[in-house]
Amino acid sequence: MKRNDFFLLLLLLLGTLAAFLLRPEPSTAKAEHIQVTVNGKMYGTWKLNTPQTITVSTPYGENVIRIQNGAAYVSKADCPSRDCMKLKPVTNSGDTIVCLPHKLVVEGKSKNGNGGIDTIAH
């Protein structure tokens, strides 16, 4: 390794540290509902306290979201890697599940929660 390599490594690690310190604080407040967006546009919201199965069918593909025990996760998807099915279920406000190939984001929201529609309603 050259000396420049070490400088580069140091620079990158500093950048990572900055990104870590500046990142939005992960919330510990339980989410009340989930908000599903597709391609940046609102698709719908669903209560987390009602067990249900939601099929999100869009031109990009299909994801089935399962809600039970106050948690939401992707139970079925027809995207290539199916990464979205392996992600941590949404329970807290601010938690997200992303299905990149389908441009789908599932985000946990609470009534007095962070950002989104609820804040505007105040």
Tell me 103's DSSP state: T
Integer CA distances (angstroms), 34 to 6, 45, 67, 115, in order: 44, 5, 9, 13
Q: Give the residue carrying structure tokens 């441009």.
A: 103
How many of the chain's residues bind Zn ion (CB under 5 A)? 4
For residues 68 and 40, give the distance between their C-alpha atoms in angstroms, rounded to a whole number.
Answer: 25
**What would you report as the CA-atom Rg of the chain, rounded to the nearest whole angstrom?**
18
Site string for Zn ion, 64-93 (x = CB under 5 A): -------------x-x----x---------
Q: Verify binding: residue 113, another protein, rule CB under 8 A.
A: no
Residue 55 beta carbon to another protein: minimum distance, rounded to whole angstroms: 19
Residue 106 beta carbon to another protein: minimum distance, rounded to whole angstroms: 10
Q: Work out what residue 77 binds among Zn ion, another protein, none; the CB cut-off runs from 5 to 8 Å by kind.
A: Zn ion
Among residue numbers 63 through 92, which ones bind another protein (CB under 8 A)? 79-81, 83-84, 86-88
Q: Give the residue carrying structure tokens 């946990």.
A: 108
List interacting residues with Zn ion (CB under 5 A): 77, 79, 84, 99
